[in-house]
């Protein structure tokens, strides 16, 4: 097989990064934008020892699961990689991705349930983060997502996976930033004031928090006036903040945020608990799907444990701990971010929750010094998963059950393999569709601890 050679192939399945898989003489070929059961004419674009890559020249026979993308920007945006596939079949694909990834990395045969769908498949994204730039000649402000594998901004004026009000706010910023002397950010030259716009939208209140990410270390009048103009323009904007990030980094938000107009948070309701979400608060972008996950974890604890003491690790604003608190004797929460811990204390007080203990500490360090044992431990780590030391300590502190919530099947598989080698039994995995029309999957694994 050589580059530029033409082949006819049948797509078998999709990888955990969204590419289709076909085989030519036993060699694996990855093909972007392909669907299982597609018959394709492809051109080989890359060849190495273990796999090749190909691009579609012609769809000879489309899969029965192909559908017309509902977004006019689908081909150039690249954010919704699976939008050309029927939604119900996307759920089947995500279960298969979870199963294949777990099996190939861990070697374990674990019962995996059908993927639980998102209650909303459009307008579900309640947090948007648009990079901002400016054209050299016309000086137009551009706002949108990056094209795939580039830092070229797609100027998006309508996005069907986010609320319409977000499009209107972005359009106002796009049209009026220059009126206030605000320039878009030039990434190469590291100049221009406005780097990103972040919007948090609430289903519960229909309010929006707007965050202008500035290439600056302190406020200035032009930016201050622009923030107030945004606030005054939209009744549904509860507040406008400025976040300062002058560093040469891909990290969107800097450490310091200042509220310029209105309120510095929005409220969101999950199950029967009301949460405050600020500019820097981690909170799931799809609240209705997140509610399915919280309900699943809460029901498991309620159905299988009597008045338990539960540890909520990597807790953020203690979302899990707060949601399960009324079926627990006590919840102990641990989170390294101080702002999140401070906000968690406010949320607990607002919801009249008195049985939660909030610890501001790195989870690994907390595990190492903690002496208590817990009936259940909820692990909700970032995409990189847990360290072996953290897994060792979670195993040590758990009396019976570890509930592992993961957004990355590969690191979940690695960590489940490690826990299994310690003697744990992986009871089940439940996939959830948090990020509709993408290859991303949220999973909840139930792990029984044998000592």
Mean pLDDT of 235-251: 95
Range of lowest pLDDT (53-57, 148-152, 399-403): 148-152
What is the CATH code for 127-270?
A: 2.40.50.1070
Say how far apart CA 136 and CA 119 lie, in whole Å. Answer: 42
Structure tokens belonging to residue 344: 């968690």
Strand-pair partners of 259 = 241
Mean pLDDT of 381-410: 94
The pLDDT assigned to 136 comes to 85
Residue ranges, CATH 2.40.50.1070, the chain: 127-270
Mean pLDDT of 389-409: 95
Overall CATH class of domain 90-120+286-448: alpha beta
Catalytic residue, candidates 341, 407, 424, 436: 407
Closest CA to 134 of 188, 98, 85, 89: 188
Residues 278-297 pLDDT 10s: 998 888 999 999 999 999 99
Contact 173, 130 (CB under 8 A): no
Rounded to two decimals, the pTM is: 0.93
The yes-or-no answer on residue 407 being catalytic is: yes
The pLDDT assigned to 151 comes to 84
Structure tokens belonging to residue 81: 């990689």
Percent pLDDT > 90 in the chain is 86
Q: What sign has the CA pseudo-torsion 93, 94, 98, 101?
A: positive
* DSSP class of 293: H
Overall CATH class of domain 1-66: mainly beta
Closest CA to 198 of 276, 269, 278: 278
Mean pLDDT of 380-389: 92
Strand segments, DSSP code E, in 25-152 are 27-31, 39-47, 52-61, 127-134, 141-146
Mean pLDDT of 58-84: 93
Residues 161-215 pLDDT 10s: 999 999 999 999 999 999 999 999 999 999 999 999 999 999 999 999 999 999 9
* Contact partners, residue 365, CB within 8 Å, separation at least 6: none
Angle between helices 409-421 and 388-397 in degrees, nearest 10: 50
Angle between helices 221-233 and 164-176 in degrees, nearest 10: 140
Say how far apart CA 43 and CA 240 lie, in whole Å. Answer: 49
Structure tokens belonging to residue 4: 């530029």
Mean pLDDT across the chain:
94
Residue ranges, CATH 2.40.50.140, the chain: 1-66
Say how far apart CA 58 and CA 39 lie, in whole Å. Answer: 9
Structure tokens belonging to residue 263: 């309120």
Tally the C-alpha atoms within 13 A of residue 43's C-alpha that lie toward its C-beta: 5
Residue ranges, CATH 3.40.50.150, the chain: 90-120+286-448
Say how far apart CA 230 and CA 215 lie, in whole Å. Answer: 19
Contact 201, 127 (CB under 8 A): yes
With a cut of 90, say whether residue 2 has pLDDT above it: no
The backbone torsions φ and ψ at residue 70, rounded to the nearest 5 degrees and listed phi first, read -85, -10
* Torsion angle, alpha carbons of 350, 356, 358, 359, to 10: 180
Residues 135-146 pLDDT 10s: 988 889 999 998
Residues 118-131 pLDDT 10s: 999 999 999 999 99
Quick one: pLDDT band at residue 38, thresholds 50, 70, 90? very high
């Amino acid at each position: 097989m050589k580059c530029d050679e033409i082949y006819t192939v049948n797509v078998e399945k999709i990888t955990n990064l969204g590419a289709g898989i076909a085989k030519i003489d036993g060699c694996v070929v990855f093909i972007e934008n392909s669907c299982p059961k597609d018959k394709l004419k492809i051109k080989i674009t890359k060849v190495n020892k273990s796999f090749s890559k190909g691009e579609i020249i012609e769809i000879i026979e489309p899969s029965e699961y192909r559908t017309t993308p509902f977004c006019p920007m689908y081909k150039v945006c690249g954010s919704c990689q699976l939008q050309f596939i029927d939604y119900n079949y996307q759920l089947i694909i995500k279960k298969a991705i979870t199963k294949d990834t777990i099996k190939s990395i861990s070697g374990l045969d674990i019962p995996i349930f059908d993927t639980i769908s998102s209650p909303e498949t459009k307008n579900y994204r309640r947090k948007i983060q648009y990079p901002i730039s400016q054209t050299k000649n016309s000086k137009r402000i551009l706002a949108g997502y990056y094209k795939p594998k580039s830092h070229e901004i797609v100027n998006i004026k309508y996005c069907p996976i986010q609320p319409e009000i977000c499009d209107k706010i972005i359009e106002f910023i796009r049209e009026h930033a220059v009126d206030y002397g605000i320039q878009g950010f030039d990434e190469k030259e590291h100049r221009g004031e406005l780097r990103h716009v972040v919007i948090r939208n609430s289903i519960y209140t229909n309010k929006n928090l707007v965050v202008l990410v500035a290439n600056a270390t302190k406020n200035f009048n032009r930016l201050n006036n622009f923030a107030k103009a945004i606030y005054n323009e939209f009744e549904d904007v509860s507040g406008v903040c400025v976040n300062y990030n002058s560093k040469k980094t891909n990290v969107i938000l800097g450490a310091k945020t200042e509220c310029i107009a209105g309120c510095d948070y929005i409220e969101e309701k999950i199950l029967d608990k009301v949460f405050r979400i600020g500019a820097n608060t981690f909170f799931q972008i799809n609240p209705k799907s997140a509610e399915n996950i919280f309900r699943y974890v809460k029901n498991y604890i309620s159905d299988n444990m009597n008045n338990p003491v539960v540890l909520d690790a990597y807790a953020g604003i203690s979302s899990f701990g707060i949601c399960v608190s009324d079926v627990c004797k006590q919840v102990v929460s641990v989170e390294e971010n101080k702002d999140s811990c401070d906000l968690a204390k406010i949320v607990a007080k607002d919801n009249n929750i008195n049985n939660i203990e909030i610890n501001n500490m790195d989870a690994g360090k907390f595990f190492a010094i903690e002496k208590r044992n817990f009936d259940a431990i909820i692990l909700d780590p970032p995409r990189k998963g847990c360290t072996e030391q953290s897994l060792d300590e979670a195993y040590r502190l758990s009396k019976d059950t570890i509930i592992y919530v993961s957004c990355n099947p590969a690191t979940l598989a690695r960590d489940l393999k490690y826990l299994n080698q310690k003697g744990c039994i992986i009871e089940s995995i439940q996939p959830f569709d948090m990020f509709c029309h993408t290859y991303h999957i949220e999973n909840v694994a139930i792990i029984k601890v044998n000592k």
